Structure 1
């Protein structure tokens, strides 16, 4: 019996030991015993699994090797504190398995003193808890981000908001919690909008888009809203999370970008880009409904004068007032546009199916606009009177392109200005043929210099004893198909296209070369040669240097070269003109004022100009004998020239009577058909042989 009791006790003891071993070995916590040297003496199966190495290989291995390198110093401090006293200390470390992988661990450390001191460690993997806490921290930070956040239950009742919500809406958490999202409704969206939103949340668990909400202050603002549905494991929606940001500035910026792209910044009228778009739409509508429309091109008369005399600020005030008057005078559906500068366009749509009626309606509107814009303007405390020229063209469907219509209206306004300004003019189809001819002339003129089609003709200039004193070089164009083209035909085209600059330089080079040739012959060395210089060429920044370079290159005597300038060129910028003339005058070049008396001459600047000669315009010479006014003007110019010490030459002299009267008034130089037409160089040199040459005193170098 006693033996049986002992055997049973032994069985119970072994069972108890097995339970202990199981608890020790398979505990969810790793148990590790370290020596005072930090070496592993004992470790359970869980511990070896956590460290990623077989238990047999871990015995007598340094525990610190399984601590992540960056935290070994921390472990060493903890371990040394434990050895220095009895007791326990906990810590959290980043551990490193044998394969190099890392995990977050919690260590409960106990120092046991005795004959063989030990440190016992309970090692737990807390990676899941650490990551969960990290996610909670991130979520907390995200919830308090710069974007507004609102959490509601499944019924839409607000249960939580963040600080950004309060900042963006003006509602505190206490004011918002317990309310529904309708607290923020602006009234700009109808019921259908919200029905679609909730339907998307039910079907897809997600909605995103722009929405207009209202702050506590009552101010409506635009926001970008994202709503996500939160579901439980069974798929039942428990909450909604809304995230939003204020995009009011973005919407305002978009509106500003649109305004800058499609509207004039000064008048806020549609610009060229928007006009072209609306005109294209108008053509499409006209093609569908058969109605005619009209395009009105408006150009303010003499606007440049206002800008130049009163400054751009006053000019801008005028443009704004013009824009306002145009808006008032047209129908609501019509388009008023500013193309730039002082150019406006009015687009009239759906006038009538009848072309005549449409033209009459467009004419009525044009006349009304002319009258409205002619009313005096009060600008900057002063009253100004300005008029407008209008060009009109009709359109019907796609018969003409947008570009063609604009070109037609532009041509019509040009004609209105030509006919006296302050009026309206309809486009005449014959204008198109002139435009085509003009374009062809531009092409031909570009090639004329390369082909050698340009030539200088020479018209003699005579003294009162009919002795030759010089000549004026006049440009001619010998076109292979057009024949001889006169300057009044192609010079305006050259000035318009800028071709006048290379052509003018070519004339200057030819004239200087001819002066050099004449200087080598006794019969021609005393001749003076005059050339015309266009305002565009004269205003070129390098004009003075070009003249000096050409004189040096050709070897021409500058005292034999005379440059003729128009009054318009001189008064455009008197100071700059005088400066350029003085530099050229210092070289020996003479100056003549061409067409004198036809412009706006002023004695105040005339006496400042380094002129040598005044040229009486042919318009005063034509009727000199029969018109007392022309005679008086011619006589006045002659007396003025003599008073200022200037030579005076009359151009356009065609009869003996004109010559006699001019001589009587004291004129001492003449040019015109009475003596010779402009003729080629060979004919001019023959003419020289038949007359006497006289040297003018004011051309001598020694004076």
Structure 2
């Protein structure tokens, strides 16, 4: 057993020895391999060091290359932008070339056209020279004739008038200048239009030609003004004036006949002023001024008449101009004053008053409205005066409303046609009422009957608007105008005022009595109140009362007085 064990151990030793030998050889191989790996590692490290150096070189080169690439890209973008601009410039130049080419084509055509036009102009020039001769005659016609009526105009009138003065100086015969102005021509223009107005002027011109001799002259100054020069009338001034009057009568007869103006049937009148001349005593413009002044005298007489100029008339016109200037100052300085005339009922109790304007002139004292209202109407100053009256009346009404003795009183204010037809009239009345805070039912506006002749539809609208505000309307001077019963029915009139001209002869005049009875009966049938003005006697009051008129105004009760006297009268009664 021990031998076997020893033998096993010996075998194992030999195996270990063999394995050790193998292991030593393996170790030697590994050591050799290590030396080879160490040598390779040295080589690899050198190679790695070289590659790292190369990488750094490549990185530096790459950095430079990137900068170069970036620069090149920027340059490419600049070149691309420049190329876009260049392409646009090229496109523009090509377009311009095409335009120039097209313009050249047009220019060539234009040149061809102009050459053709030159030939036409040359032909037209021949025609124009012939036309020029004709136009010279036309220009002469335009210079000396009115285009609308074909009558001589102002320039030819002065020429003809100078010739007439020279002829008069040679012959010793009187001549005359007539100045004509159509009545209410503005109303025709305003209502039917200027075309109808022009048609009337043409027909008037045609009719006037038939009224004069071949040696006389008729001219249109402008607007609705015509002038007639009558020559060689007589060496006697009275006979010359008589012949002038005969011509004027012929004109009135001719012009007063109805006109057919398209679809409109129209009747018109004219006012004429005349002045006589002998030789060169007066210049043409002085003669026209005299005839013009005389024409206005005809207007003041009621129109449709003839007036002759004289020195007295000149004084009247001068006074009128002075009055107009003084009126302007009176408005600025408030020289006006309201007087009040009481209105009473059948028992004699005062129920109201009419406000009547007076001019307190600083040098001439009280001036009656009869002396200055017509001038105010003609000049338009009545608008400012009427507004002052309205404001003063409303201020007085406000004071009356605050006094138990007078709070029941109404106040009548006269309204002129010019004031009534103002565009802003209703608005001004309303503003004045609101300004003073009065009861509008206490304010009565008096309109004249003659106002109803023109533009009735506008009157109806205005009166209706005033009625809606509470203001009452009285028709003044009733019976003296031209109002229609049809219009009275349509108008919201509160009161008719019987004119004093009828009241004056009420006891002795049978016709006046009949007219007054008719007015009262008609008013009552239309449910319109009636008041009579100008009542001066008890007989007149009793007659009116017996026939149904229960409101009165006149000197029987009191004359128009300043406010202090009026209020004293009210307190006493």
Pair in the same fold by TM > 0.5: yes
Q: Of residues 353, 358, 375 in structure 2, which corresponds to 1:476?
A: 358
Q: Residue 523 of structure 1 corresponds to which residue in structure 2? A: 405
- The answer to whether the Cα contact below 8 Å between 1:613 and 1:648 also exists between their aligned partners in 2 is yes
Q: TM-score, length-normalised on structure 2?
A: 0.71
SS of alignment partner, residue 230 of structure 2: strand
Distance 1:333 1:603, change over 3 A: closer
1:308-327 → structure 2 map (5 Å cutoff): 319-327=201-209
Note if 1:275 corresponds to 2:157.
yes
The root-mean-square deviation of aligned C-alpha atoms, in Å, is 3.6
Q: Residue 337 of structure 1 corresponds to which residue in structure 2? A: 219
| Alpha-carbon distance in structure 2 between the residues aligned to 1:373 and 1:290 | 32
- The answer to whether the Cα contact below 8 Å between 1:295 and 1:392 also exists between their aligned partners in 2 is yes
Structure 1 residues 58-105: Cα deviation after superposition (integer angstroms, max 9, x where no partner)? xxxxxxxxxxxxxxxxxxxxxxxxxxxxxxxxxxxxxxxxxxxxxxxx
Q: Residue 466 of structure 2 corresponds to which residue in structure 1? A: 584
Distance 1:481 1:284, change over 3 A: farther
Q: Of residues 332, 335, 353 in structure 2, which corresponds to 1:450?
A: 332
Further displaced range: 398-407 or 544-553: 398-407
1:129-144 → structure 2 map (5 Å cutoff): none
Q: Residue 426 of structure 1 corresponds to which residue in structure 2? A: 308
Q: How far apart are residue 278 of structure 1 and its match?
A: 3.9
Q: Residue 393 of structure 1 corresponds to which residue in structure 2? A: 275
Q: Residue 546 of structure 1 corresponds to which residue in structure 2? A: 428
Q: Residue 289 of structure 2 corresponds to which residue in structure 1? A: 407
- The answer to whether the Cα contact below 8 Å between 1:454 and 1:477 also exists between their aligned partners in 2 is yes
- The answer to whether the Cα contact below 8 Å between 2:340 and 2:562 also exists between their aligned partners in 1 is yes
| Alpha-carbon distance in structure 1 between the residues aligned to 2:426 and 2:491 | 16
Distance 1:425 1:577, change over 3 A: closer
Distance 1:533 1:306, change over 3 A: closer
| Alpha-carbon distance in structure 2 between the residues aligned to 1:164 and 1:312 | 41
1:121-520 → structure 2 map (5 Å cutoff): 167=123, 246-253=128-135, 255-279=137-161, 282-283=164-165, 292-299=174-181, 319-349=201-231, 355=237, 358-359=240-241, 362-363=244-245, 365-366=247-248, 369=251, 390-415=272-297, 424-520=306-402
Distance 1:317 1:637, change over 3 A: same
- The answer to whether the Cα contact below 8 Å between 1:144 and 1:164 also exists between their aligned partners in 2 is no
SS of alignment partner, residue 146 of structure 2: coil
| Alpha-carbon distance in structure 2 between the residues aligned to 1:577 and 1:361 | 44
Note if 1:642 corresponds to 2:524.
yes
Q: TM-score, length-normalised on structure 1?
A: 0.59
| Alpha-carbon distance in structure 2 between the residues aligned to 1:558 and 1:543 | 15
Distance 1:516 1:629, change over 3 A: same
Further displaced range: 396-405 or 439-448: 396-405
Unaligned 5+ residue runs, structure 2?
1-110
Q: Residue 82 of structure 1 corresponds to which residue in structure 2? A: none
Distance 1:248 1:548, change over 3 A: farther
Q: How far apart are residue 293 of structure 1 and its match?
A: 3.3
The structure with the larger Rg is 2
Q: How far apart are residue 634 of structure 1 and its match?
A: 1.3
Q: Of residues 512, 533, 558 in structure 2, which corresponds to 1:651?
A: 533
Q: Residue 660 of structure 1 corresponds to which residue in structure 2? A: 542
Q: Residue 62 of structure 2 corresponds to which residue in structure 1? A: none
1:54-133 → structure 2 map (5 Å cutoff): none
More helix by share: 2
| Alpha-carbon distance in structure 1 between the residues aligned to 2:345 and 2:491 | 24
| Alpha-carbon distance in structure 2 between the residues aligned to 1:619 and 1:424 | 26
Distance 1:688 1:164, change over 3 A: closer
| Alpha-carbon distance in structure 2 between the residues aligned to 1:571 and 1:368 | 27
Further displaced range: 543-552 or 628-637: 628-637
Note if 1:688 corresponds to 2:570.
yes
Note if 1:557 corresponds to 2:424.
no
| Alpha-carbon distance in structure 2 between the residues aligned to 1:367 and 1:552 | 54
Distance 1:470 1:282, change over 3 A: same
Q: Residue 173 of structure 1 corresponds to which residue in structure 2? A: none
Q: Of residues 546, 569, 575 in structure 1, which corresponds to 2:451?
A: 569
Structure 1 residues 23-76: Cα deviation after superposition (integer angstroms, max 9, x where no partner)? xxxxxxxxxxxxxxxxxxxxxxxxxxxxxxxxxxxxxxxxxxxxxxxxxxxxxx
| Alpha-carbon distance in structure 2 between the residues aligned to 1:589 and 1:382 | 36
More strand by share: 1
Q: How far apart are residue 422 of structure 1 and its match?
A: 6.4
Distance 1:265 1:664, change over 3 A: same
| Alpha-carbon distance in structure 1 between the residues aligned to 2:544 and 2:382 | 34
Further displaced range: 300-309 or 524-533: 300-309
Distance 1:331 1:146, change over 3 A: farther
- The answer to whether the Cα contact below 8 Å between 2:182 and 2:268 also exists between their aligned partners in 1 is yes
- The answer to whether the Cα contact below 8 Å between 1:284 and 1:397 also exists between their aligned partners in 2 is yes
| Alpha-carbon distance in structure 2 between the residues aligned to 1:589 and 1:377 | 40
| Alpha-carbon distance in structure 1 between the residues aligned to 2:333 and 2:379 | 19
Q: How far apart are residue 489 of structure 1 and its match?
A: 1.3
| Alpha-carbon distance in structure 2 between the residues aligned to 1:576 and 1:325 | 33
Distance 1:386 1:565, change over 3 A: closer
SS of alignment partner, residue 378 of structure 2: helix
Q: How far apart are residue 641 of structure 1 and its match?
A: 2.1
| Alpha-carbon distance in structure 2 between the residues aligned to 1:681 and 1:508 | 15
Unaligned 5+ residue runs, structure 1?
1-139, 148-161, 169-222, 224-243, 692-703
| Alpha-carbon distance in structure 2 between the residues aligned to 1:315 and 1:362 | 28
| Alpha-carbon distance in structure 2 between the residues aligned to 1:482 and 1:510 | 23
Distance 1:331 1:567, change over 3 A: closer
Distance 1:675 1:143, change over 3 A: closer
| Alpha-carbon distance in structure 1 between the residues aligned to 2:262 and 2:424 | 39
| Alpha-carbon distance in structure 1 between the residues aligned to 2:399 and 2:393 | 10
Q: Residue 105 of structure 2 corresponds to which residue in structure 1? A: none
Q: How far apart are residue 576 of structure 1 and its match?
A: 1.2
Distance 1:416 1:575, change over 3 A: closer
Q: Of residues 554, 570, 573 in structure 2, which corresponds to 1:672?
A: 554
